A and B are shown apart, each in its own frame.
Chain A
Amino acid sequence: MNPLIPTPDTIPVAWGWFEFLLLLTLPLHLLCMNMLLGFSGISLYSRLRGDDASRRLAFELARVLPFLVAFTVNFGVAPLLFNQVLYGQFLYVSSILMAAFWLAVIPLLIFAYYSIYLYDFRFRSLGRAGAIFIGLALLAIVLIAFIFTNNMSLALEPVRWTAYFRNASGTLLNLGDPTLFPRFLHFVVGGFAIGGLAVAVFARFWRQRDSQVAELASRIGMQTFTYLTMAQVLLGMWFLMSLPREIMLLFMGRNMLATVVFVVALVLTVVVLVTGLRRKIGLTAGLAFVLLFLMAVLRDLARIAYHAPFFRAETLQVVPQYSPMVMFFVTLIAGLICIGWMIRQVLVSVKNV
């Protein structure tokens, strides 16, 4: 038992509910985050190219970006909440150790969000200077990803927390962790790959309006996806090898569930590469979405393994009270119905215009 790990608070329903909700909402956040990376990256690239079709593509992507920021944030809130319920005693500590950076996420995000709106709303008048805004926004987003990687990895290893006693000013990072850079690259490069695939999916919506843009989007998107997925296989291996040996071995046969999920994910990666190279966009996107969930599960299994020497979520004390959870699920269903209705109204009005 590590003496630095805080005593956790009690939880109101069995831990499995929170684990379920965490695994349900995190992939949605990852998906939006990946699309944000891919759309900004390809929009920047297209904006920098001189031809007219690329400029039009950059604009189509710019128009989607504000939505992606909003939903990345919103879908980030839920898993962060459920993570804190189960693992708050780890996450609060690692956040405090790097508090200055962690808090910097907020101004960086505000900066990125306003830059993106400026890029979108003033696309024409900014001209090529727009590339500066989307470029800076992308830089801010990648920095945020780096801060998140530091925090999430620091939360896994309480043995690194003693650094606090040398520096309590909240300016620590987890640079000494050998998994840090492969983990960061794995998430960001993977993000750009999935984001590229999403651009290719969106190309379908533009086909009728501007077939040239649609063709361009589809081509750049799929190229991004396939090349980066190849790189991702290598990065994933590097990440795996950098994990502590006992944890790595769990995925190599020592733990049945971990190994099965890992092998399925690996096979699926090869499959999406093949379907991607053949430009079967719909199939690739569907399989990649499944892959994203598997990756979230793998990530969770690794966390459980990291925490195993100190903590298991099953040991959290439950002081049961289920009625608030009923309120949540009822609201969630009503909210989704309401959202569905609104989207339908928008589609109807778009058709009528």
Chain B
Amino acid sequence: MNYPVWYLPEIGGSTLIALIAIVHVFVSHFAVGGGLYLVLAERKGVREQNPDILAFTRGHSKFFLLVTMVFGGLTGVGIWFIISLVQPAGTSLLIHNFVFGWATEWVFFLVEIVALFCYFYTFDRMERRTHLVIGWIYFISAWFSLFLINGIIGFMLTPGGWLADGDFWSGFFNPSFWPSLVFRTFVAAMMAGLFAYLTCAWQKNTDLKFAMTRFSGKWVLIALAGAVPSGFWYLSQLPQPARTLVDGASPTIARALDWGLYSVIAILLISLVFTIIMPALHNRLVAFVVLACGLLLMGSFEWTREAARRPYVVNEVMYSNGIYKGAGDDINRQGFLSSARWVRIREFHEESLLEIGQDLFKHQCHACHTVGGMNNDIIARTANFSYPAMLSYLETIHQRRYFMPPFIGTPEEMRALATWIITGLHGKPAEAASAPASVNGEGPGAQLFADNCVFCHDSGLIKAKTIGWSLEQVRSALDKLSSLNPAMPDYAGSSSEKDLLAAFVFSLNASGSTVPMAKEDAGESVFEAHCAMCHSLAEGYNPVLPKISGWDRERIRTALDMLEKLQPAMPPLVASDQEKDDLTAFLYEKSQGGQP
């Protein structure tokens, strides 16, 4: 609100940040670990009096220079550019609070550059001991760059004592500082080994290739052995809301962690087989595959770290959309339009609801949501909403979904945002009187359903999902929603409200109910309720059908009882036997190419 918003409806600035950050972090960890690798590889060559190893190290240092100094250095500046374009308020906060942290990091960057140039250009032309000292200077300054940036990045997730005293050092040595530093140091060593696989794969001298492939393999495995426990140490330091998100409440984090797990396993296996046990099998393809796994691991970690911070850009201080948490109450009183600088209309009036709504979207939602794009598409996410449901959702958005920041502004402004989404994007009427289309039924229970449930599932879907349930079953489910599905928030209503809501849900399947079942096929409903958040059916993200191609009914049905054993990242399917049977029938029919 203090700054203009770069409006890229279909791309979204956060996508650009993620792209640049992930490739940079991948290379920058190599820039740290690779420095140590060069020094130790050179020392190995000197101790073994092996000119081949020295030639290898020299060749690798050229590759290292071209990858880290050019690509790594410039994408690092690229992150600074992109965050100041997409998160200017957050960037300004970091720059102003930690300016001398950044400035000190710049000194290390300078020493790094000079050291690396000296190291590369004097290889074999300088007295060996002095050359090694210059290699050490490079590594130490690169590691101190990591040390400094680690403090500032950690501050964003766990500001710790800074919240109370605003002190540089409290923010810098924050609760996640040490675990993150240890973890990143091990990851840097691992990246050094992974990138060295590439140089190894290009060697023609077989003895040298074996020796250096094994040497690099040991780097990766030792680093991995350190990275895994320090990664858990890091996760254990996360503050509570972030922990819940990481533990499963955020489907995107769960997905990222899955990918991280796969890549760790792949790196471990490939390193064991192709570099330690049978280095003869190591080749360029293997090197690229394992490097891609390294990129995936880095991406998974960065995604998790960034996503776990939501709804904040600096935890408990500033929301992802650049609004200070502490300013919320004032803005709610005065209105967003009159508090913000970069909106087209500064005073609320009914004639400009859509323009105001769009500006509010830009300033409060666009930091994470695209309009019709790949990432968090607002159109897809709000397809089921009616206008009253949208309004009701916006009122309590942060309570319902912790990782979404609260709407900040007056009720009228909220109405403008809801109007822009419902009418502007979906072309539906924005009338307060229009009944929520997706709730059939009347009475207090129906109202509670409309206020709390309809954002994610309409009454038809719930009807299909609760076929055969007793009233008691429905009522007890309302006490433990998050354990039924980690992505579902618990219902915070009182006990009597839960009774009313349970009665309503139960009535959906009572004889005489006029509520139509959401789908003709009960199995499809079960799929949508339990599987669709992580799986598509046939194409798109993580499709299910290719996985069960050729399976018979029996095998599908058995698998549904043991999902967590088939795939540790998958939660068990919490559904009745009838639902599992329905889902089996649906999946089997689909896998046969027929309609259920």
Binding site for B on A (CB under 8 A): 3-12, 18, 21, 67, 70-71, 73-74, 77-78, 81-82, 84-85, 88-89, 92-93, 95-97, 99, 102-103, 105-106, 109-110, 113-114, 117, 161, 164-165, 168-170, 319, 321, 323-325, 327-328, 331-332, 335, 338-339, 342-343, 345-346, 349-350, 353
Contacts and interface: CB of A to CB of B under 8 A. Distances in A.
Given A9-B93, A73-B73, A342 B114 contact: yes
- Closest 7 interchain pairs by CB? A324-B100, A9-B96, A168-B7, A106-B78, A349-B126, A92-B88, A6-B2
Given A9-B92, A343-B114, A328 B107 contact: yes
A218 to B, nearest CB: 25
Interface string B79-119: 00110110011011101111111111011111101110110
Interface stretch (B163-171, B225-233, B565-573, B588-596): B163-171
Q: Which of B100, B111, B342 has the most CB of A within 10 A?
A: B100
A6 B118 contact: no
Given A9-B93, A168-B362, A323-B168, A102 B113 contact: no
B547 interface: no
A92 B92 contact: yes
Interface in B318-341: 341
Contacts of A21: 103
B130 interface: yes
Interface in B61-82: 66, 69-71, 73-75, 77-78, 81-82
Nearest to B144: A331
A85 B7 contact: no
Contact of A335 (B69, B110, B125, B344): B110
A332 to B, nearest CB: 5
Contacts of A331: 104, 107-108
Contacts of B81: 95, 102-103, 105-106
B376 to A, nearest CB: 19
Given A11-B96, A85-B95, A335 B108 contact: yes
B4 interface: yes
A170 B70 CA distance: 26
A331 B5 CA distance: 37
Given A103-B16, A110-B70, 11 more contacts: A4-B342, A12-B99, A67-B117, A74-B109, A78-B103, A81-B103, A84-B92, A85-B99, A323-B168, A327-B100, A349-B122
Contacts of B6: 96, 99, 168-170
B137 interface: yes
B77 A345 contact: no
Interface string B445-487: 0000000000000000000000000000000000000000000
27 contacts: A7-B2, A9-B92, A9-B97, A11-B96, A12-B96, A12-B99, A70-B73, A81-B99, A81-B102, A84-B84, A85-B99, A95-B84, A99-B85, A102-B85, A106-B75, A106-B77, A106-B81, A117-B66, A170-B6, A319-B166, A328-B103, A328-B107, A331-B108, A332-B107, A342-B137, A346-B126, A350-B125
Nearest to A326: B100
A6 B110 contact: no
Contacts of A319: 166
Given A77-B77, A170-B8, A321-B168, A346 B122 contact: yes
B344 A110 contact: no
B48 interface: no
Contacts of A338: 111, 137
B121 to A, nearest CB: 8
A166 to B, nearest CB: 10
Contacts of A117: 66, 70
**Secondary structure dominating the interface of A:** helix
A346 B168 contact: no
A346 to B, nearest CB: 5
Interface string B1-36: 011111110000000100010000000000000000
Chain B interface residue bracket vs A: 35 or more
Interface of B: 2-8, 16, 20, 66, 69-71, 73-75, 77-78, 81-82, 84-85, 88-89, 91-93, 95-104, 106-111, 113-115, 117-118, 121-122, 125-127, 130, 134, 137, 141, 166-169, 341-342, 344, 362
B127 A349 contact: yes
A110 B110 CA distance: 18
B188 to A, nearest CB: 21
Q: Which of B71, B74, B78, B96 has the most CB of A within 10 A?
A: B74
Contacts of B74: 73, 106, 109-110, 113
B96 A85 contact: yes
Given A88-B92, A328-B104, A77 B109 contact: yes
Contact of B110 (A3, A88, A324, A339): A339
A74 B113 contact: yes
Contacts of A353: 125
A96 B341 contact: no
B106 A77 contact: yes
Contact of B4 (A103, A168, A325): A168
A16 B169 CA distance: 23
A338 B121 CA distance: 18
A335 B100 CA distance: 15
A327 B148 CA distance: 12
A152 B231 CA distance: 43
A157 B20 CA distance: 30
Contact of A324 (B7, B16, B78, B168): B168
Contact of B100 (A4, A7, A164, A328): A328
A70 B93 contact: no
B47 to A, nearest CB: 21
Contact of A93 (B3, B66, B77, B111): B3
Contacts of B100: 12, 324-325, 327-328
A102 B6 CA distance: 12
Given A164-B4, A323-B168, A339-B114, A114 B70 contact: yes
Contacts of B102: 81
A353 B125 CA distance: 7
B118 A345 contact: yes
A115 B103 CA distance: 29
A102 B84 CA distance: 11
Contacts of B2: 6-7
Contact of B7 (A12, A109, A169): A169
B95 A103 contact: no
Given A85-B96, A331-B108, A345-B118, A71 B113 contact: yes
Nearest to B91: A92
A216 B344 CA distance: 60
Contacts of A82: 99, 103
Given A12-B99, A345-B130, A327 B3 contact: no
A76 to B, nearest CB: 8
A114 B71 CA distance: 9
A334 B140 CA distance: 13
A218 B93 CA distance: 49
Contacts of B342: 4, 164
Given A71-B113, A169-B8, A321-B168, A96 B99 contact: no
A335 B107 contact: yes
B113 A70 contact: yes
Contacts of B130: 345, 349
A99 B103 CA distance: 24
A12 B96 CA distance: 7
A21 B99 CA distance: 12
A114 B74 CA distance: 11
A71 B114 CA distance: 9
Contacts of B126: 345-346, 349
Contacts of B113: 70-71, 74
Contact of B104 (A7, A96, A105, A327): A327
Contacts of B5: 96, 168
Q: Which of B2, B8, B125 has the most CB of A within 10 A?
A: B2
Q: Which of A332, A339, A342 has the most CB of B within 10 A?
A: A342
Contacts of A10: 96
